[in-house]
Amino acid sequence: MITNLDADWPALQSTDWAADMQQCLQEPEYHAEGDVWTHTRMVMDALIALPEYQALPPDDQNLLLHAALLHDVAKPVCTIIENGKISSPRHAKIGEKIAREILWDFDFAFRENVCALVRLHGLPIWGLEKADPVRAAILAGWRVRNELTYILAKADVLGRICETQNELMYRLELYREICLENDCFYNAREWYNDHSRFRYFWSEETYPSEIFDDTTHEIVMMCGIAGSGKDTAYQKHYAHLPLVSLDNIRQELKIKPDDKGAQGKVAQVAYERAKEFCRRKQSFVWNSTNLTSEMRARLIGTLRVYDPRFTIVYVEASQNDIFQRRKADIKAAVLERMIQQLEVPLVGEAHAVRYVV
């Protein structure tokens, strides 16, 4: 999309998402410069002028350029007007998903770093309002370096016209100090072991969390869009382990994938089989789409009382492969909704997260 500092603006402006940004107004109190596209251009100019940006290696610069371009891509679908005020609630969270769709077939690590920056670009400004700013900074640093998030947020503040710019810059510097004090600005925070990190993610444990790893068996959670290759990954890497497969249970019970009323029965059978393996302290594989953090949290929350070690295996293929593989049994619109729903597993969600792309 952007291969150097000379972005092809006419080509970018002609995309549907950029056209929407050009038509999307912002609250003048915070964005007197006007529409989202104007702000985006100003942010990119401000980014390129920053000494912190200029000191980065080319790969990091390219990453930040893409993140700056897409950081407000969801504002057109999130913007509302209430009592004469314009706001865009949840635009960072939804923007991550839109950025992922736009960049789907890019290099996976590059794409996910861009998505993380889009999701977190407001954190350095608003992080102090979190219940636990230190925790927020540590978790953010697992996704992408806080240094890069800070630089993007700084460009975001400078690339606008507002009377509160100095206050926002002050907030940025406080966030930077929090990250530096907690060793999570230039790198991710180090941990005693994977189990301590897992406990920190899912509980209110405080850092440093030095917890003995008393896990007794492993639960491998497959994750990915239908047609991405989860069954193939299972056969290649985990065929030695028993399988709890929601697709297989549907076939056993003669329930169609689009029969929403019967999916509860499928889940009930799957959970009972999983609990039986856990009671025997036997490792196994759970194979379903597990597309969102909420879905994965439901399974982890139910089974963690049995002291397992969780491994999430995220499997991904090109959009073309996904649609071709499942065109006979899943409508394209359903697969598109899955892609829009997807939340790629994060470090910390499990003891180990593996990406098969």
Domain residue spans in the chain?
Answer: 9-181, 217-356
pLDDT at 137 over 80: yes
pLDDT at 208 over 90: no
Residue that the structure tokens 């293929």 belong to: 317
- Rounded to an integer, the average pLDDT of 316-339 is 90
- Say how many residues make up the chain: 357
For residue range 224-246, list pLDDT tens digits in order: 999 999 999 999 999 999 999 99
d(CA 215, CA 306): 8
CB 297 within 8 A of CB 208: no
In which band, very low, low, confident or very high, does the pLDDT at 10 lie, cut at 50, 70 and 90? Answer: confident
Q: What is the pLDDT of residue 291?
A: 96
d(CA 300, CA 198): 11
CATH of domain 217-356: 3.40.50.300
**Tokens coding 98:** 């839109």
pLDDT at 346 over 80: yes
**In sequence order, what DSSP letters do the residues of 327-352 get, joined into one string?**
TTTS-HHHHHHHHHH--PPPTTSSSE
Instruction: Name the nearest CA neighbour of 159 among 303, 50, 316.
Output: 50
pLDDT at 259 over 90: no
d(CA 273, CA 286): 10
Topology annotation, domain 9-181: Hypothetical protein af1432 (1.10.3210)
Q: Which of 128-137, 166-175, 252-261, 311-320 has the lowest mean pLDDT?
A: 252-261
- Rounded to an integer, the average pLDDT of 172-191 is 96
Dihedral sign, CA of 30, 32, 34, 36? negative
Instruction: Name the nearest CA neighbour of 286 among 252, 311, 317, 258.
Output: 311
Q: What is the pLDDT of residue 225?
A: 95
